[in-house]
A and B are shown apart, each in its own frame.
Chain A
Amino acid sequence: MVFTSFNFLIFFPLLVAVYYIAPIKSRWLVLLLFSYFFYINIKPVFSLLLGGVTLSTYVFTRLIDNTTNESGKKAYLIINIILILLPLFFFKYFGQINNSIISLLESVHLRWPLPEIKLILPIGISFYTFMAIGYTIDVYREEIEAEKNLGIVALFISFFPLILSGPIERAKNMLPQFNLLKKLDYEMVVQGLKWMLWGYFMKLVVADRIGIYVEAIYDNLQFHNGTSILFASILYPFQVYSDLGGYSLLAIGTAKVLGINVIQNFNRPFFSTTMSEFWRRWHISLISWLTDYVYTPLSFTFRKYGVWGIVIALLITFMISGIWHGAALTFVVWGFMQGIFLSIEALLKNRRTVFEKKYNLNNKIFYISFGILLTFILFASSQIFGRANNLNDAFLVYRKIFTTSGPLFIGNPSVFIFSLLSLSLLLAKDFTDEFIPGFLLFDSKNKIIRVIAYSSIIILILLIGVFDGGQFIYFKF
Chain B
Amino acid sequence: MVIKKIIFNILIILVVVMTLDFLFGRVLRHYYFKETSGFHYRTTYSMETTDADILIFGSSRANHHYIPELFEDSLKMTFYNTGRDGNGILFQTAVLKSALKRYSPKLIIIDYYGEFIKNDEAFEGLQSLLPYYRTHEEIREFITLKSSNERIKLLSEIYPFNSQILSIAIGNMERNKQRYDDKKGYVPLFTIWPSPIEIISKYEEYPVDTVKVEALRSFLDLAKRAKVRVLVIYSPIFEKFEKKQEIEICRDICSHEDIPFWDYSKDTLFLNHNNLFRDVQHLNDNGAKIFSNLLVSRIKHDLFRSTVNKVSESTSSK
Query: What is the distance, in angstroms, from B168's C-beta to the closest C-beta of chain A?
Result: 10
Q: Are A451 and B13 neighbours in the complex by a CB distance under 8 Å?
A: yes
| CB-based nearest B residue for A212 | B163
**A189: interface (CB < 8 Å):** yes
A262 to B13 Cα, complex, angstroms: 26
The proximity string for A residues 449-472 relative to B, scoring 1 for CB distances below 8 Å and 0 otherwise, is 001101110110011111110000
**B24: interface (CB < 8 Å):** yes
Q: Are A186 and B5 neighbours in the complex by a CB distance under 8 Å?
A: yes
A6 to B162 Cα, complex, angstroms: 16
| CB-based nearest A residue for B5 | A186
Chain A's interface size range is: 20 to 34
**B200: interface (CB < 8 Å):** no
A458 to B156 Cα, complex, angstroms: 12
Known contacts A463-B162, A464-B165, A189 near B16 by CB under 8 Å: no
The proximity string for A residues 383-424 relative to B, scoring 1 for CB distances below 8 Å and 0 otherwise, is 000000000000000000000000000000110011000000
The proximity string for B residues 98-118 relative to A, scoring 1 for CB distances below 8 Å and 0 otherwise, is 000000000000000000000
Q: Are B153 and A459 neighbours in the complex by a CB distance under 8 Å?
A: no
Q: Are B13 and A467 neighbours in the complex by a CB distance under 8 Å?
A: no
Q: Are A468 and B127 neighbours in the complex by a CB distance under 8 Å?
A: yes
8 Å CB contact of B152 from A6, A189, A465, A466: A6
A413 to B165 Cα, complex, angstroms: 11
Q: Are A455 and B13 neighbours in the complex by a CB distance under 8 Å?
A: yes
**B3: interface (CB < 8 Å):** yes
A468 to B24 Cα, complex, angstroms: 21
| CB-based nearest A residue for B12 | A451
Q: Are B16 and A452 neighbours in the complex by a CB distance under 8 Å?
A: yes
Residues in A whose Cβ lies below 8 Å from that of B162:
462-465, 467
Known contacts A6-B152, A463-B158, A468-B127, A418 near B3 by CB under 8 Å: no
Known contacts A413-B166, A414-B166, A462 near B5 by CB under 8 Å: no
The proximity string for B residues 157-170 relative to A, scoring 1 for CB distances below 8 Å and 0 otherwise, is 01101111111001
**B21: interface (CB < 8 Å):** yes
Residues in B whose Cβ lies below 8 Å from that of A186:
2, 5-6
Instruction: State the interface size on chain B (CB cutoff 8 A).
Output: 28
Query: What is the distance, in angstroms, from B207's C-beta to the closest C-beta of chain A?
Result: 12
8 Å CB contact of B24 from A7, A418, A452, A459: A459
Residues in A whose Cβ lies below 8 Å from that of B164:
414
**B272: interface (CB < 8 Å):** no
**B17: interface (CB < 8 Å):** yes
Residues in A whose Cβ lies below 8 Å from that of B152:
6
A413 to B170 Cα, complex, angstroms: 10
| CB-based nearest A residue for B127 | A468
**B211: interface (CB < 8 Å):** no
| CB-based nearest B residue for A413 | B166
Residues in B whose Cβ lies below 8 Å from that of A104:
none
Query: What is the distance, in angstroms, from A324's C-beta to the closest C-beta of chain B?
Result: 30
**B144: interface (CB < 8 Å):** no
Residues in B whose Cβ lies below 8 Å from that of A7:
149
| CB-based nearest B residue for A415 | B163
Residues in A whose Cβ lies below 8 Å from that of B153:
6, 467
117-162 of chain B: CB within 8 A of chain A: 127, 147, 149, 152-153, 156, 158-159, 161-162
8 Å CB contact of B163 from A20, A184, A464: A464
8 Å CB contact of A462 from B9, B13, B127, B159: B159
A452 to B12 Cα, complex, angstroms: 10
A461 to B277 Cα, complex, angstroms: 39
Residues in B whose Cβ lies below 8 Å from that of A185:
2
Residues of A near any B CB (own CB < 8 A): 6-7, 20, 184-186, 189-190, 413-414, 417-418, 451-452, 454-456, 458-459, 462-468
CB-based closest 5 A-B pairs? A462-B158, A6-B149, A455-B16, A414-B166, A186-B2
25 contacts between A and B (CB under 8 A): A6-B147, A20-B3, A186-B2, A186-B5, A186-B6, A413-B166, A414-B164, A418-B166, A451-B13, A452-B16, A455-B13, A458-B17, A459-B158, A462-B156, A462-B159, A462-B162, A463-B24, A463-B162, A463-B163, A464-B162, A464-B165, A465-B163, A466-B163, A467-B153, A467-B162
